[in-house]
A and B are shown apart, each in its own frame.
Chain A
C-alpha cells in the first residue's frame, strides 16, 4: 500500500504525458487519416494507388520500428526535435492508416443504393460525397474510430521505450524501487490504462447501439 501511494506522483506525471500523446497523435492521425481516406476514394488512379501503398506499407511495419526510426534514425538524419515530439509524430504516422481504413469502411458501409439514388437525381461526385455519403458515413465511422483511439492509447506505451516519460516508462523505476511490491505497482499502472480504455470502449458500444437503431 505504501508503494502505491509512493509511486502515485510518478504515475500521474506519466499519465499526463500519456494523455498528451493520445490527444496530439489522435488529432494528427485523424487529420492525416481522413486525407488518406479521401485519396483512396478519389477519381484519380495515381492518388488512389499512392494512398493504398502508404496504407499497406505502414500497416505492415511494427509500431516499435516506426518509433525506433523516429527516436534513433531521425537524429542521425539531422533532426533536433525532442523525443516527445518525435514519438508523437511516430504515433501519428503509425495510426493514420488505421484511421483511414476506419473512415473508408464507414464510407463503404453506406448502402450503394444511397449513392445510386444521389447519382440518379443528377448530383455530381462532390455533391454525392458531401451531401449524401459523408453525413451517413460519419455516424458509422465513430465506433471503429473510437476503437482506433483505444488502440492508440495502448500504443502510447511503446513510446516509453524511446525516452518519453509516459506511464509505461514510469513502471521501470517504480518496480525497481518497490521490488517487494511489484504486482500491485504494475496492476496500478494497468488500472490507469484501463481507466482510459474501458470508458472509451463503453462509449463505442453505446454509440454503436444508437447507430444500429437509427439504421
Chain B
C-alpha cells in the first residue's frame, strides 16, 4: 500500500474498479488491434497481396530442423561470448578498482583517464576497433570489447564499494600488521565485492544483451542468425524468424535476470551491513545504458 493515497473507501473502490476495467479494456483493445493489424493480409507496393503475419504459410519453416539447428548454434555462440567476456570483465573490473584507489598518483591518474575513455565510448566502436586494429577475429573482438567496457563499469562499482567501507575496516587491518596490499585483498575487497554483487550481476545481464553488438563484426550470434536465416529462407519469413529470435533472447535474459535477483537476495547486503545502505542502491541497474551507477557523494565521480 502506497502512502500516496488512503486505503480506499467504498466510493473510491468503485471508481478504481471502473478505472481498472476501462484500462484493462483499453489494453486488451490495443493488443487485439495489434493482432489484427499483424494478421491482416497486406497489398505490397506492386499490387501483390501477401498473407498476414500469422498465416500458416509464414510458419511452415518452424518444422524445419535446419532452422532450429541454426538458432541453437546462435544461442550457443551468444552464451560462449557472454561467458568469456563476463570473466574478463570481472577481472578487468578488479584491476581497475585497485588502480583507481591506488595511493600512488602515477597509477591512479592514468587508470582514471583510461576508465573515463572506456566508459564514454560506444561498445560498438570498441568491438570494431579491436577487430580492425588487432585483427583478432570476430569472436575475440567481441569478447575483448565487451570485457573492457563492462570491466570499466564493474571497476567503478567495486571502487564505490571499497570507498563506502568504514575507515575502521582498513585501520583494523593495518593495525594487526597486514600490509596495505594485504588489507585491500583480505579485508576491504571481499566486503566490497559482496556489497556490489547485485550491481555486478546486473551488469553481466547487460553484457549478455550486448553480445548482440558483435553483429557488427559478423559474429554468428543470435541476431546474426536471424539475418542469416532471412537470407536463406527469404523475406517472407522474416517476421517469423524475428519472433523466434526475440523469444529466445527474452528467455535467456529473463532467466539470467531472475538468477541475478535470486543471488542478490541471498548474498546481497545483509541486515546490519557495515556499508551505508544509501550508497550501492541502483535504480534499475542497467545499461549499454549502464552508467546508472549512483554518483552520490562523490563516490562515483565522473569527469574530474
Contacts and interface: CB of A to CB of B under 8 A. Distances in A.
B122 A128 contact: no
Given A155-B122, A201-B303, A186 B235 contact: no
Contacts, number: 198
A45 B227 CA distance: 39
B4 A105 contact: no
Contacts of A186: 125, 128-129, 132-133
Interface string B261-304: 00000000000000000000001101111111101111001111
Given A62-B210, A77-B38, A171-B128, A44 B23 contact: yes
A147 B293 CA distance: 8
A204 B288 contact: no
B27 A46 contact: yes
A148 B287 CA distance: 8
A189 B4 contact: no
A61 interface: yes
Interface string B6-38: 101000000010011001100100000000001
B95 to A, nearest CB: 21
- Chain A binding surface SS class: helix
Interface string A97-121: 0100110110010001001100100
Given A41-B4, A201-B302, A205-B302, A151 B291 contact: yes
Most buried by B among A77, A115, A157: A157
Contacts of B303: 198-199, 201-202, 205
Given A46-B23, A212-B296, A65 B246 contact: yes
A93 B102 CA distance: 41
B223 A62 contact: yes
Interface in A23-53: 41, 43-47, 50
Contacts of A197: 119-121
Interface of A: 41, 43-47, 50, 56-57, 59-65, 68-69, 72-73, 76-78, 98, 101-102, 104-105, 108, 112, 115-116, 119, 124-125, 128-129, 133, 143-144, 147-148, 150-151, 154-158, 160-161, 168, 171, 175, 182-183, 186, 189-190, 193-194, 197-199, 201-202, 204-205, 208-209, 212
Interface of B: 2-6, 8, 16, 19-20, 23-24, 27, 38, 42, 44, 53, 116-117, 119-125, 128-129, 132-133, 209-210, 212-213, 215-216, 223, 226-227, 230, 235, 238-239, 242, 245-246, 249-250, 253-254, 257, 283-284, 286-293, 295-298, 301-304
Given A43-B8, A43-B16, 17 more contacts: A44-B23, A60-B209, A60-B254, A64-B212, A64-B213, A68-B242, A72-B230, A98-B287, A101-B283, A150-B120, A154-B121, A168-B122, A175-B132, A197-B120, A202-B302, A209-B298, A212-B297
